[in-house]
Structure 1
């Protein structure tokens, strides 16, 4: 979970932050696993544009979502040059980095790297194959942000958004890859502004899935009316929007999984973020959807620790 540094988000999100509550713990029994997803078509690296982190803004009420309003008219996507769908195959899991500090961990090019508040990433890690989404999606989807994503996830994302628009929805891409330094800048601002709640509002640098380059934060034009606040972009009531409900039901078909589900705080260490989806490949995303668990829960229960933990 992360905090946006975009100027017009600060005030709206600050007013909707959840009050800190007791943090539970979980220490699942770790057993060896041999599954990891890899992709091969990511040789090109583009200089990243750091994106501001975002913040969870409270837990949702227990009342069911309201009936969906009439969806907006779909807008056509621009013609996109055909590109092969990156394949994700299950291969034996490498182990060389399991005996080094997480602060020195440079993951391989796989899609299932473990990132939690315990197992972080090196400040020097930057994913291979980052590409700008502005070349694949129109401004009414990216909102003009210089968002980047790993090449392996781009084609599935474009296909998913195309199908959402065909269904009359208006998905928005609010955030993608964020570097270690971008996360550090945002966290420092919260340490100065809200030192007692910084750990709730922002993940420490190196402990955010956004650094992997395979995570998308989605938005919806319905959110402002549902929340009752103009220009709101991130709120847990995203799950009430037409886009949020569609993603929850269908994102796994395109290889995306919800990283931080409701009532999974003790396992993931992060508050509910119904907008935060990570690309893990169709096979793994479908398995997680059918089992009703998060990737973190699956990995902590089936894989050995990926590295020696550092203190955030």
Structure 2
């Protein structure tokens, strides 16, 4: 009799336990991370600086997917973050850093690349685009960005614009020449006007500097190629509004100086793929800002 009462007690406790596990709960997605990283300066928007011509420089992201439960009620779905597969590499000196040709390598005035790094899939744009776009310059970019760039240029021309490509891939050695030039001509502003060798986004082979035939008239200087007033040109306006649809993002917007080391460059666009570029455009973030908030330090300066 004692054994039977014991079995009934166990059975009743089991029923109570099963019933309590069946209660539905509501899942609330975790909030997005606060955009104030510890130990990282916060970029403060500033008006366009005094006109100057830069030569160059930027960083990686995580994957985050929010899965609401069947009982969760969302009045507005959260903005999805782009998925990106990053190849982690042991942290070491930036002077020895050899990325795996991924699209999210961090390059700034702080975090650089090895002098030996060069992309493996560079192609000449003169093989794909007409002279009025390339101006005959032997500009190279990575193969992965060619077709999106061609489509973007084609659509710009169809809209009556005259885009020009002034710069693409720049090797460590070429950047060293540029850096030496600015140090010789304007030593006090060299760090603003150019990147030190190894610290230029152009070394990644996915960055393009655009030009506009309207710039000289707007600035009042014949034959000028780089100026912050590029954002006022028809080409600059179109790129700011549409480049993300082709996978390109503005590397150095206003207010990015504290994180990237570079002033506003409205002509400098980097290919990161349509998903990431669209996410950045919609969120109002720029690539370096987003990646420094979400990725570990890429190398030791």
Q: For the superposition of Structure 1 and Structure 2, which TM-score range results when normalised by the shorter chain?
A: 0.7 to 0.9
TM, length-normalised to structure 2: 0.73
C-alpha RMSD of matched pairs (Å): 2.0
CA contact (8 A) 2:94 2:300 kept: yes
CA contact (8 A) 1:59 1:272 kept: no
**Map of 1:96 onto structure 2:** 89
1:178 to 138, 149, 170: 170
SS of residue in 2 equivalent to 1:184: helix
**Map of 1:286 onto structure 2:** 278
CA contact (8 A) 1:148 1:176 kept: yes
Consecutive unaligned residues in structure 1, runs of 5 or more: 1-25, 31-56, 61-88
CA contact (8 A) 1:58 1:235 kept: no
CA deviation map 1:181-237 (0-9, x unaligned): 001011112222222222122110000000000000000011111011110111000
**Map of 2:223 onto structure 1:** 231
CA positional deviation for 1:91: 4.6
Q: Is 1:152 aligned to residue 144 of structure 2?
A: yes
**Map of 2:260 onto structure 1:** 268
Distance 1:245 1:91, change over 3 A: closer
Q: How many aligned positions are there?
A: 230
CA contact (8 A) 1:142 1:172 kept: yes
CA deviation map 1:236-271 (0-9, x unaligned): 000000000000000000000000001221222100
Distance 2:298 2:151 in 1: 32
TM, length-normalised to structure 1: 0.71
Distance 1:228 1:91 in 2: 43
Which structure is richer in relative contact order (CA contacts within 8 A, separation 6 or more)? 1
Q: Is 1:139 aligned to residue 125 of structure 2?
A: no
Distance 1:303 1:131, change over 3 A: same
**Map of 2:214 onto structure 1:** 222
Larger radius of gyration: 2
Q: Is 1:254 aligned to residue 254 of structure 2?
A: no
